[in-house]
């Protein structure tokens, strides 16, 4: 992935893709002092760019550092990169981290860096898998108590258990893993939020120890606009036996139907299909002028 053509916005400059490097003694690498975003451009416009940038800045604040660029600079950099790369449908990955001046748990004086990359990205899960619903295993690791980890931050360190869980699920032939939280309640997938449908009502866990995804909030809004009731509450895994439909939401996952979670199975029903369509309509740029306006 590090040997592509193109350029990466790196601390304010456009750097050739293969030259966008860090030193091995980078604090972010040793101590996970890094936060990132995952964004997606549709038709040349990054969906909810401002919300993603605000979350990036807030994620860093939660980890005790301040990104040395304003939201406006970051937004412009993301848009500019897209135009310079001549991409209209793409994934956008900003990442900020503590640099390499000091090596140790404390690194108060280390430079805070920011880099942004964009690349073309098709559907997260294979399209044919997606229409019949994907299969999830139940992860061994649990989402930690918010007193144990900064769960409101999209912090690199929190993804350690996600990668372990996703790899373990993939090794068993599953597409992803569902993670429970420290209380044993249903939490989320390794990179997406989870929703269930029963008797025409949507149920989804309260995001009190995992990311309240931007897609999650968008989809809740779309469901409510359709007059579908959405209940945010604690969900125990055994309850999955009574749910009829299940889907994941996320910038990368969009709205992805789920057919199985461990021993529980679900249909790809009307509410799921409707929200898949509504989401795809919502992400398209509302005004084509957006791209032209970017320097």
CB of 215 to ligand PMP, least distance (A): 3
Nearest approach in angstroms of CB 12 to ligand PMP is 25
Reading the block at residue 148, the tokens are: 């144990």
Q: Provide the token pair at 243.
A: 């749910």
| Smallest distance, ligand PMP to C-beta of residue 159, A | 7
Measured CA to CA in angstroms, residue 197 lies from 144, 270, 274 at distances of 26, 10, 12
Mark whether 152 is an active-site residue.
Answer: no
Separation between Cα atoms, residue 11 and residue 116, nearest integer Å: 9
- Indicate the residue among 54 and 239 with the shorter CB distance to ligand PMP: 54
- Catalytic hit among 154, 224, 273, 290: 154
Give me the half-sphere count of Cα atoms (radius 13 Å) on the Cβ side of residue 27.
Answer: 23
Residue 59 or 259 having the CB closest to ligand PMP? 59
Q: Which residues contact 237 (CB under 8 A, 6 or more apart)?
A: 138, 180, 184, 185, 186, 262
Calculate ∠ Cα 55-58-62, nearest 5°. Answer: 135
Summarize as ranges the residues that interact with ligand PMP (CB under 6 A). Answer: 38, 162, 188, 191-193, 210-211, 213-216, 249-251
CB of 110 to ligand PMP, least distance (A): 25
Angle at 108 between CA 103 and CA 109, to 5 degrees: 80
> Which run of H or of E encompasses 100?
none
By C-beta, is 47 or 266 nearer to ligand PMP? 47
Q: Which is nearer to ligand PMP, 100 or 215 (CB)?
A: 215
Measured at CB, which residue is nearest to ligand PMP?
A: 213
Residues classed as catalytic:
154
């Amino acid at each position: 992935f590090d040997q592509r053509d193109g350029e990466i916005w790196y601390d304010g400059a456009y750097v050739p893709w293969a030259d966008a490097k860090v030193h091995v003694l980078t604090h972010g690498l040793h101590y996970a002092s890094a936060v990132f975003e995952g964004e997606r451009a549709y038709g040349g416009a990054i969906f909810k760019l401002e919300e993603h940038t605000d979350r990036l800045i807030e994620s860093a604040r939660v980890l005790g550092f301040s990104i040395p660029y304003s939201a406006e600079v970051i937004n412009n950099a993301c848009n500019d990169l897209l135009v310079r790369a001549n991409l209209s449908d793409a994934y956008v990955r900003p990442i900020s981290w503590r640099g390499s001046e000091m090596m140790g748990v404390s690194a108060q004086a280390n430079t805070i860096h920011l880099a942004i990359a964009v690349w073309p990205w098709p559907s997260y899960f294979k399209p044919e898998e997606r229409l019949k619903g994907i299969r999830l295993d139940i992860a061994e690791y649990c989402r930690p108590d918010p007193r144990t980890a900064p769960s409101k931050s999209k912090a690199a360190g929190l993804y350690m258990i996600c990668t372990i869980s996703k790899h373990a699920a993939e090794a068993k032939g599953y597409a992803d893993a569902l993670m429970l939280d420290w209380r044993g309640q249903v939490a989320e997938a390794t990179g997406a939020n989870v929703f269930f449908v029963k008797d025409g009502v949507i149920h989804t866990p309260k995001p009190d120890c995992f990311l309240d995804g931007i897609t999650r909030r968008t989809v809740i809004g779309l469901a409510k606009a359709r007059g579908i009731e959405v209940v945010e509450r604690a969900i125990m895994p055994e309850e999955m036996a009574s749910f009829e439909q299940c889907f994941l939401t996320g910038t990368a996952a969009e709205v992805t139907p789920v057919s199985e979670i461990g021993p529980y199975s679900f249909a790809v029903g009307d509410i799921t299909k409707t929200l898949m369509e509504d989401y795809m309509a919502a992400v398209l740029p509302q005004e084509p002028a957006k791209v032209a306006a970017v320097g």
